[in-house]
A and B are shown apart, each in its own frame.
Chain A
Amino acid sequence: MAGEHRNAKNATSRRGFLRTAVAAGGAGALIGPAAAAGNHANEPPNVPDWTRMLGDGVAVRKYGKPSKHEANVIRRDVAWLTATPQSSVSFTPLHELDGIITPNGLCFERHHAGIAEVDPADYRLILHGLVDKPLIFTLDDIKRMPRVNRACFCECAANSGMEWHGAQLNGVQFTHGMVHCVMYTGVPLKILLDEAGLKPNAKWLLLEGGDAAAMTRSLPLAKALEDCLVAYRMNGEMLYPENGYPVRMVIPGWEANMWVKWLRRIEVGDEPWQQREETSKYTDLLENGIARRFTFVMDAKSVITNPSPQSPLDHKAGFTVLSGLAWSGRGKIARVDVSLDGGRNWRSARIDGPLWDKALTRFYYEFDWDGRELLLQSRAIDETGYVQPTKDALRKHRGVNSIYHNNGIQTWYVHKNGEVENVEVS
């Protein structure tokens, strides 16, 4: 179709513009959004084909997909990060999304031994250890139990982990894309534990996945009883295989590594198991060689998703909406501040949409851009009074070797021509 051809051409020329812009500013690569320019044949007073001819009927698209013009809205990986794609990560394209709910097909992936393709008919969950009656559940058993719905963010402890030494990846998808937020449906873990009956000396649980790494984490019993879910649906649908189909753990506010996917076993014990993922990994090595362990909570964090390196400002100046996400593992977001000058002056952003406990929270800041260069930052404050620190403030406490839990303030440098790059400022 003519329109398609024109769009593709425009997309190419736009990318060409971005390449030129990048070359002028230094080495690097940008992934531009879909072309915005159109085809005059489709614009008034002309009448486009889609207004004159019949389109697909119902149920031609038995499972709907985004428009073909949105083909750029995909998860991406960073090939050099890991030795193999089976033990790796792909990132959510935060710059292509709005609101607070992540579409199921765009939730970041982190596997330790690839996706386990579990047959729901053969799915079993064993609950044993310090219980009165060890139990085994089928998927139907779990679906028969009382269930609840809850949206919460799920953030990998290593989100922004590549940025400890300085600005490294030029895109919010890569710097912050290991977070997503979906509405889970599941059974409170407490119901399963009550069903088995806890022994008085029960203090910790071991959660184990059914993947080829049999991924494990130790979970304190208090958290298990407080708000954890044994979840099987995301945004109403059954979990996707890459997100743990058919059953995963949901541990609100705590690091995603604990949200064991393809959950196959829960053991009740009296002390932590000191598994690989809570000793050699997911511990925070400090500058003095001491490491923090059991750093479960994800502290308050925010990032401006638009503009960002993959989503430049296309207009030269004028009314401009900054958009971003904020979240805290300690509760609700109380406020988000935005700076246009690298942290010298701050104004409070407007929070829009649901403001839920331990969920992504959307903020906007509208202003009249005069076309000047900007150094954009955002700063989340949660209901406990925790204020998202600068990266340098974090480094003062932890050095640069801790890999995990980097919730420092992100800076985007907006050039006069609207392109955006990941920088750090003094």
Chain B
Amino acid sequence: MSRCPSAAALAAALAAGLLGFAAAQGAAAPKSQPASQPAQAVEPAPAAKRLGIGRRATPAEIAGWDIDIRPDGQGLPPGKGTVKQGEALYLERCAACHGEFGESAGRWPILMGGAGTLASHDPVKSVGSYWPYASTLMDYIRRAMPFGNAQSLSNDELYAVTAYVLYLNDIIKDESFELNRSNFTSIKLPNQGNFVDDDRTTAEKEFWDKSPCMTNCIPGEARITGRARAIDVTPDDATAPKVE
């Protein structure tokens, strides 16, 4: 059972930063509902005090779960693997969904191709055409692949399969190339420079409009230009999940 926090614990929490949070919630209460959210008593904040809850995580515990890999190489495991070794593994454990050449089977994610399509009406967002960093590929294979048997590859297998997918994308061109911890960060993907941080508040500034039009905003009667029915892809009851 969880316990109610004592007043002392709450004070400590407030000191630790809960104060700002509670204030935000108070502000969220509608003005038309007085006293529905009585202001929390805030005492002068003593120095931040830890709760003493939780214990130190051991290096072994952290190592078992710390599987992320960053573009700068932080998190790369020891290991190595060649394109050739990766091909055999890929055909055995990946090709059923992603296709023999990374072209995708059915609706599973495509891994290769699509160069030059990003500005077209049918962009193909593959590892080679879209993904900005090779580390993302190895990180995701390491944490989530093969689908349904996650975290089953050895580190050497991980390097080998990653090398093969990069080979399918012409990022690595030599079948005998060995990908390893020390050469990994030398691999660059071509689309890295084509990402910009969120700029909606400036690029779409016009959406902040002090007085949006209320009457006769568009001349003439509205004309229907598209209908979902014409596409006819909406599920009906027959495809809805069954309930008891």
In the complex, the chain B residue whose C-beta lies closest to that of A287 is B119
Q: Does the CB pair B241–A195 fall under 8 Å?
A: no
CA A76 – CA B237 in complex, angstroms? 9
Contact residues of B between 59 and 90, Cβ < 8 Å to A? 61-62, 65-72, 74
CA A299 – CA B198 in complex, angstroms? 12
B140: Cβ under 8 A from any A Cβ = yes
How near does chain B come to A414, taking the closest CB pair, in angstroms?
Answer: 12
- Report B's interface with A, CB cutoff 8 A: 2-3, 5, 9-10, 12-13, 16-18, 20-22, 24-25, 27-30, 33, 48, 50-51, 53-57, 61-62, 65-72, 74, 97, 106-108, 118-119, 121, 123, 125, 127, 130-133, 135-136, 139-140, 143-144, 147-148, 150-151, 194-200, 203-204, 206-210, 212-218, 221-237, 239-241, 243
Interface residue from A26, A141, A401 paired with B53 (Cβ < 8 Å): A141
CA A90 – CA B242 in complex, angstroms? 13
Given contacts A127-B57, A191-B17, A225-B17, contact A299 B229 (CB under 8 A): no
CA A337 – CA B209 in complex, angstroms? 14
Given contacts A191-B16, A292-B199, A425-B222, contact A274 B28 (CB under 8 A): no
Question: A249 contacts which chain B residues (CB < 8 A)?
Answer: none
Interface residue from B3, B204, B226 paired with A397 (Cβ < 8 Å): B204
CA A102 – CA B142 in complex, angstroms? 36
Q: Does the CB pair B198–A194 fall under 8 Å?
A: no
How near does chain B come to A69, taking the closest CB pair, in angstroms?
Answer: 13
Q: Does the CB pair A144–B2 fall under 8 Å?
A: yes
Chain B interface main SS type: loop
Interface residue from B30, B54, B71, B150 paired with A195 (Cβ < 8 Å): B54
A279: Cβ under 8 A from any B Cβ = yes
Q: Does the CB pair B215–A346 fall under 8 Å?
A: yes
| Chain A window 267-302, contacts with chain B (Cβ cutoff 8 Å), 1 for yes, 0 for no | 101010111100110010101111111111101000
A202: Cβ under 8 A from any B Cβ = no
CA A234 – CA B166 in complex, angstroms? 43
Interface size class of A (residues with CB under 8 A): 35 or more
Max count, chain A CB within 10 A of own CB: residue among B56, B133, B207: B207
A248: Cβ under 8 A from any B Cβ = no
Question: B232 contacts which chain A residues (CB < 8 A)?
Answer: 27-29
Q: Does the CB pair B13–A146 fall under 8 Å?
A: yes
Q: Which of A53-61, A165-173, A313-321 has 4 or more CB atoms under 8 Å from chain B?
A: A165-173
Given contacts A148-B25, A226-B20, A359-B28, contact A279 B133 (CB under 8 A): yes
Max count, chain B CB within 10 A of own CB: residue among A226, A280, A386: A280
A133: Cβ under 8 A from any B Cβ = yes
Max count, chain A CB within 10 A of own CB: residue among B206, B218, B232: B218
Q: Which 6 A-B pairs have the closest CB atoms?
A: A342-B222, A146-B13, A29-B236, A289-B119, A143-B2, A289-B118
Q: Does the CB pair A386–B207 fall under 8 Å?
A: yes
Q: List 8 A-B contacts (CB under 8 A).
A: A80-B233, A133-B56, A213-B143, A225-B17, A274-B70, A400-B121, A421-B227, A422-B228
Interface residue from A166, A297, A345, A356 paired with B216 (Cβ < 8 Å): A345
Q: Does the CB pair B18–A148 fall under 8 Å?
A: yes
How near does chain A come to B169, taking the closest CB pair, in angstroms?
Answer: 13
In the complex, the chain A residue whose C-beta lies closest to that of B48 is A194
Q: Does the CB pair A144–B227 fall under 8 Å?
A: no
Question: B67 contacts which chain A residues (CB < 8 A)?
Answer: 214
CA A71 – CA B62 in complex, angstroms? 46
Contact residues of A between 224 and 255, Cβ < 8 Å to B? 225-227
A312: Cβ under 8 A from any B Cβ = no
Given contacts A146-B9, A285-B125, A343-B217, contact A171 B57 (CB under 8 A): no
A216: Cβ under 8 A from any B Cβ = yes
CA A273 – CA B135 in complex, angstroms? 9
Q: Does the CB pair A227–B24 fall under 8 Å?
A: yes
In the complex, the chain B residue whose C-beta lies closest to that of A19 is B236
CA A126 – CA B16 in complex, angstroms? 20
Q: Does the CB pair A401–B16 fall under 8 Å?
A: no
Q: Does the CB pair B25–A386 fall under 8 Å?
A: no
CA A190 – CA B70 in complex, angstroms? 24
CA A386 – CA B204 in complex, angstroms? 10
Contact residues of A between 403 and 426, Cβ < 8 Å to B? 413, 421-426
Q: Does the CB pair A141–B241 fall under 8 Å?
A: no
Interface residue from B21, B33, B140 paired with A227 (Cβ < 8 Å): B21
CA A421 – CA B54 in complex, angstroms? 54
Question: B216 contacts which chain A residues (CB < 8 A)?
Answer: 344-345
CA A340 – CA B138 in complex, angstroms? 52
Question: A171 contacts which chain B residues (CB < 8 A)?
Answer: 234
In the complex, the chain B residue whose C-beta lies closest to that of A206 is B68
A364: Cβ under 8 A from any B Cβ = no
Q: Does the CB pair A387–B212 fall under 8 Å?
A: yes
Max count, chain B CB within 10 A of own CB: residue among A79, A264, A287, A426: A426
Contact residues of A between 85 and 121, Cβ < 8 Å to B? 86-87, 90, 112-113
